[in-house]
Structure 1
Amino acid sequence: MTVYRRAASLVVAVLLVFCSSLAARDLNQDEALALRQQGVILPLEQLLQKAMARYPGSRLLEAELEKKHGQYAYEVELVTTEGVVREIKLDAATGALIKDEED
């Protein structure tokens, strides 16, 4: 293998490791409970109310707690009364809106 190919292989390997470390990680219910008890994140119920209030009458489809770049966020998926699926992302520590888009 030439020096160029070895260097290129090393760069690709480093990029793969780096990029995989940036990916969001979903947390399980035990991790979420521990973070809530430690006061790191707000109660899910409080954040769900905030998300659902954006679209009165909407129905909850899914809610996930994830950690990305050291930040905890709840990703809430709901369907509006018009049948539109929305993805709302809220900062789990502050409740601030990060994203609200049609899914």
Structure 2
Amino acid sequence: MKKFTTALVTALVLSAAPFAMADDNVPLDQIQTLQENGTIQSLQKLNAIALEQHPGATIHDSELEHERGQYIYQLELRDQQGVEWDLELDAATGAILKNRQDD
């Protein structure tokens, strides 16, 4: 009975593994392919959408992540007053998901 229980628990853990995996940064070499096949918008366009929210700001950091089946483009901006902003965009649509002042 103990072997059966161990095997059952192992099978359950392994079958749930894809759902338990942490969100992943998308490697740079895959970003171009995602843009070319239309899965995500160009990073240039996504940057422009973010900068429209804070005219005159500069981008200090950005990364593309794959979270729960969605590509999320995360940016850190600094506006002309030195205030830092965290933005998240849906990389496929360009929709703004988060736009808040950094703590």
For the aligned pair, the TM-score class normalised by the smaller chain equals 0.7 to 0.9
Q: Which residue of 2 aligns with 1:42?
A: 41
Residue 61 of structure 2 corresponds to residue 62 of structure 1:
yes
Instruction: Return the TM-score normalized by structure 1.
Output: 0.79
Q: Which residue of 1 aligns with 2:92?
A: 93
Please give the per-residue CA displacement for 1:60-96, whole angstroms capped at 9, x wherever unaligned.
1011000000000100111011111101000000000
TM superposition shift of 1:28: 1.4
- Unmatched tracts of structure 2, length 5 or more: none
Letter in 2 for 1:62: D
Instruction: Return the TM-score normalized by structure 2.
Output: 0.79
Other structure's SS at 2:80 match: coil
Provide the C-alpha distance between the structure 1 equivalents of 2:56 and 2:71, rounded to a whole number of angstroms.
27
TM superposition shift of 1:20: 4.2
Q: Which residue of 2 aligns with 1:71?
A: 70
Provide the C-alpha distance between the structure 2 equivalents of 1:67 and 1:87, rounded to a whole number of angstroms.
17
Number of aligned pairs? Answer: 94
- Unmatched tracts of structure 1, length 5 or more: none
Provide the C-alpha distance between the structure 1 equivalents of 2:23 and 2:86, rounded to a whole number of angstroms.
16
Instruction: Find runs of 4+ consecutive structure 1 residues off by over 3 angstroms.
Output: 17-20
Identity %: 34
Output the aligned Cα RMSD. 2.3
Please give the per-residue CA displacement for 1:49-69, whole angstroms capped at 9, x wherever unaligned.
010111111011011000000
Letter in 1 for 2:91: A
